[in-house]
Structure 1
Amino acid sequence: MRYLPAVVVDVVLVLIFAAIGRASHDESPAGLLLTAWPFLIALLIGHLLAALLPGRPRRPWSVLWGAVVWIVTVAGGMLIRVLSGDTAEVPFIVVATLVLGTFLVGWRAITALLRRRRSSPDAAEATRAESLDEPND
């Protein structure tokens, strides 16, 4: 299951988002799942949707996959909150959008950057080695 590691990272990040939110309002940490559950359900739907999209991003750790998951998590999480009788005030929507975007897309962007950096020296070294093999005119 190549999807599982990305889903686990995303679940942990959504739980961190909910914990930060509860702590910032001096609410009991015991209610963490009460805050997180709408976003966790939307997160799973986001992963499923990203996997089913035609021409979809192929890797769950790609930035594009993360963007799909982020949008569905925020929109779906807010919708589920409202339908379950909770609130979705504009400031909360803005904060959730920014924080979840940073979390869900951010780790993927960092991963992509590190992969490029890791492969970049190899490519540069190969190019340098090739230039050393060429005769000078």
Structure 2
Amino acid sequence: MKILIINGPNLNLLGKREPEIYGNQNFESYFRTLQSKFSGVVLEYYQSNIEGELIDKLQEVGFSYDGIVLNAGAYTHTSVGIGDCIKAIQTPVVEVHISNTFSRESFRHQSYISPQAKGVIIGFGLQSYDLAIQSFF
């Protein structure tokens, strides 16, 4: 099984950015934990702050991977393009969010990804990624 985790804008700042919301751990160290836990799965990781690069990566793997775990960050609430891309590819996508977006600003309550996703996991911290990976088994 081959799964790609894609993180969008500002998620490269995990461990530094708003630790009261996102915690103190950077994603690279958590990713190593995921690789150990799911040692029978080929896990890959990609991060970009640029919307078009996220779409390019989704298109690149969207017909050959077994699953995509996507935290599009703020693009979740603004990007019709990412939503359209997920609709166009064959690989199932699970949308994840570290924080409970429904307990935050009202603009975060809208997702252009959710209608196209296999499922949505919100508010379980970094464990949201773990739960998303498990959903592919």
Larger radius of gyration: 1
Tell me, yes or no, whether TM beats 0.5: no
Q: How does the TM-score come out when normalised to structure 1? A: 0.25
Tell me which protein shows more strand as a share of its residues.
2
Q: Which has the higher contact order (CA 8 A, sep 6+)?
A: 2
Structure with more helix by fraction: 1
TM-score, scaled to structure 2: 0.25
